[in-house]
Amino acid sequence: MISLPRLYAILDASCFTGPADLFNTAETLSSAGVTLLQYRNKSENARKMLDHAQELTHRLANSVKLIMNDRADLALAAGFGGVHVGQGDLSAEGARKVIGPNLWLGVSTHNPGQVIEADKTSADYIAIGPVFATSSKANPDPIIGVDGVLQARKLTRKPLVAIGGITRANCRSVIDAGADSVAVISDLVREPQKSAEEFLRILR
Ligand code: 3NM
């Protein structure tokens, strides 16, 4: 079983002015103590995504576990530490075939049925959300609230990541409901260093 850090930072390319801004923020987060980082890019082609991912590997692979959103092939090609798949991406077992036994595999879930299904797979961790309202995801599933995290916790012993609208103000309640880690996009963007340090302090 893998062990997740309390904070799982997600760098969504749409939040940055360009690749340089994204790389700098990645380095800032790493120096603030972040050790698990996902690269998420819903609008760029595979070639650009691989370029960006390789640069992240070059800058950070020694200090941070890098996870590729959606694309198992790019995770492998970039030398990332894992891939995260959603309900509309490759199945967990499909992604596992691509990445092999050693890379981390995460699966997004949005309701109890999906948690039960993901629990049966070789996924290393399960993400559940959106816990709160989020504007970082197109067409989000219905909000599950802290109660949804409590419910998910009862359905799996795999490491559980809570996602969606998680901030410094509400993260403690999500961990107290049984999540092992919180995944965050927007509350890390504006002041990455300060924000990451505060998350890590609150969740210690
Ligand atoms: N997945 P923020 S919610 C990428 O419910 C993502 O699976 C979700 O961003 C899910 O921290 C979400 O800005 C967006 O709310 C998270």
Report residue 201's pLDDT band, with 50, 70 and 90 as the boundaries.
very high
SS (H, E, C) the chain: CCCCCCEEEEEEHHHCCCHHHHHHHHHHHHHHCCCEEEEECCCCCHHHHHHHHHHHHHHHCCCCEEEEECCHHHHHHCCCCEEEECCCCCCHHHHHHHHCCCCEEEEEECCHHHHHHHHCCCCCEEEECCCCCCCCCCCCCCCCHHHHHHHHHHHCCCCEEEECCCCCCCHHHHHHCCCCEEEECHHHCCCHHHHHHHHHHHCC
What is the per-residue pLDDT for 161?
Answer: 99
Residue 106 Cβ contacting ligand 1 at under 6 Å: no
In ligand 1, the atom with minimum distance to the C-alpha of 165 is: 15
CA of 2 to the centre of ligand 1 (A): 22
Give 109's strand partners: 128
Residue 129 Cβ contacting ligand 1 at under 6 Å: yes
CA of 191 to the centre of ligand 1 (A): 18
Residue 137 Cβ contacting ligand 1 at under 6 Å: yes
For range 148-154, the mean pLDDT? 98
Mean pLDDT of the chain: 98
**Structural contact between residues 38 and 68, judged by C-beta atoms closer than 8 angstroms:** yes
Instruction: Give the right CATH number for 7-203 from 3.40.50.620, 1.10.150.80, 3.20.20.70, 3.40.50.12280.
Output: 3.20.20.70
Residue 81 Cβ contacting ligand 1 at under 6 Å: no
What is the per-residue pLDDT for 142?
Answer: 98
For range 66-86, the mean pLDDT? 98
How does pLDDT run across 13-41, given as a tens digit for each residue?
A: 999 999 999 999 999 999 999 999 999 99
Report residue 61's pLDDT band, with 50, 70 and 90 as the boundaries.
confident
Q: What is the largest CA-CA distance in the chain?
A: 42
In ligand 1, the atom with minimum distance to the C-alpha of 166 is: 11
* Structural domain boundaries in the chain: 7-203
Q: Give CA angle at 72 (89, 138), nearest 5°.
A: 40
Residue 148 Cβ contacting ligand 1 at under 6 Å: no
For range 137-164, the mean pLDDT? 98
Q: Whose CA is nearest to atom 3 of ligand 1?
A: 164
| Rounded Cα–Cα distance for residues 125 and 2 (Å) | 8
Report residue 163's pLDDT band, with 50, 70 and 90 as the boundaries.
very high
Q: pTM for this one? A: 0.98
Closest by alpha carbon to 87, among 113, 124, 50, 65? 113
Q: Give CA angle at 61 (170, 96), nearest 5°.
A: 80
Place of tokens 């961790």: 125
Pocket perturbation via mutation, ligand 1, pick of 134, 135, 149 by most ligand atoms within 8 A of CB: 134
Residue 141 Cβ contacting ligand 1 at under 6 Å: yes
